[in-house]
């Protein structure tokens, strides 16, 4: 980045400074710079895989195929480290500029970067549980079983099917009410790296806007909420957030 402040950083800084309770809503796009592919971006997983692989019906129909897909996703996540965008959000929270991060991601990178108030509305992939009795097992153990036997892992207690503790398509996100609650108390939402297509999670920025708050969107591709946003930034998440942080630090 050269010395001059991009215009978007000036505008974003003004909006953030006017807010009394700003929240951040993140999606898979914030983690692509940590080498975890997103779903719908240009290099997204849906260019190679069928989206049904992340669904509850696929888990029930073809548990082996399901675990083949999730073993791959797990590998991406365990190798990943937070990037500059995650770190910038942790610093914005430490400075009191944002109150919390609501993430759709299952990679734990916000917490790893130092964010304290993180709500993972779609769970996290590090732990798994039995779909029948709820017994919890580290996902790594499930993957070892899958790799050694070629078959989907079963619960040691009841022989039910094990699955990552994440929200699959066709399942209701249990933490969504807590996310809506945070959105209702907020007067600004900064959305980073989300196509804003996955509902009900994508209602979080909508709620903030509907009740008179501001909306800033940082995303490469257009989103359905661009038209109601106060500021749309078509920039790499790390570049945009570092520019905003730099501007805030200079004031």
21 is catalytic: no
Residue nearest to ligand NAD (CB): 29
H or E element in which residue 3 lies: none
For the CA atoms of 93, 119, 43, 240, what is the dihedral angle to 10 degrees?
-20
By CB under 6 A, is residue 111 in contact with ligand NAD? no
Smallest distance from ligand NAD to CB 56, Å:
14
Q: Which of residues 130-189 bind ligand NAD (CB under 6 A)?
A: none
By CB under 6 A, is residue 36 in contact with ligand NAD? yes
CA 205 – CA 202 distance, rounded (Å):
6
Smallest distance from ligand NAD to CB 225, Å:
11
H or E element in which residue 130 lies: strand 123-130
Tokens of 87: 């770190």
CA 180 – CA 182 distance, rounded (Å):
5
Smallest distance from ligand NAD to CB 80, Å:
8
| Cα distances (angstroms) measured from residue 101 to each of 68, 92, 116, 189, 195 | 30, 10, 9, 10, 17
What is the contact mask toward ligand NAD in residues 201 to 220, using x (rule: CB under 6 A)?
-----------------xxx
Angle at 57 between CA 51 and CA 58, to 5 degrees: 55
Catalytic residue among 21, 86, 110, 122: 122
Member of 107, 206, 214, 242 binding ligand NAD (CB under 6 A)? 107
By CB under 6 A, is residue 38 in contact with ligand NAD? yes
Member of 106, 176, 189, 215 binding ligand NAD (CB under 6 A)? 106
Smallest distance from ligand NAD to CB 63, Å:
20
Q: How many CB atoms lie within 10 A of CB 40?
A: 17
Which are the catalytic amino acids?
122
By CB under 6 A, name the binding residues for ligand NAD: 27-29, 31-33, 36, 38-41, 44, 104-107, 122, 193-195, 197-198, 218-221, 236-237
């Amino acid at each position: 980045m050269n010395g001059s402040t991009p215009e978007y950083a000036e505008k974003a800084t003004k909006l953030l400074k006017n807010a009394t309770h700003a929240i951040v809503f993140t999606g898979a796009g914030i983690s692509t710079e940590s080498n975890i592919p997103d779903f719908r971006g240009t290099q997204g997983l849906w260019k190679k895989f069928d989206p049904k692989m992340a669904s509850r019906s696929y888990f029930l129909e073809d548990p082996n195929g399901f675990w083949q897909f999730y073993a791959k996703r797990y590998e991406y996540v365990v190798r990943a480290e937070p990037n500059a965008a995650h770190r910038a959000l942790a610093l914005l929270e430490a400075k009191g500029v944002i109150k919390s991060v609501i993430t759709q991601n299952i990679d734990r990178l916000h917490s790893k970067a130092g964010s304290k108030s993180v709500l993972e509305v779609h769970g996290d992939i590090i732990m798994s549980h039995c779909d029948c009795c709820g017994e919890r097992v580290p996902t790594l153990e499930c993957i070892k079983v899958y790799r050694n036997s070629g078959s989907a892992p079963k619960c040691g207690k009841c022989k039910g099917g094990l699955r990552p503790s994440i929200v699959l398509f066709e399942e209701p996100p249990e933490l969504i009410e807590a996310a809506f609650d945070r959105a209702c108390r907020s007067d600004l939402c900064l959305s980073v790296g989300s196509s804003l297509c996955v509902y009900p999670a994508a209602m979080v920025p909508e709620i903030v806007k509907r009740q008179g708050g501001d909306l800033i969107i940082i995303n490469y591709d257009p989103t359905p909420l661009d038209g109601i946003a106060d500021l749309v930034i078509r920039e790499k998440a790390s570049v945009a957030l570092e520019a905003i942080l730099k501007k805030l630090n200079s004031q």
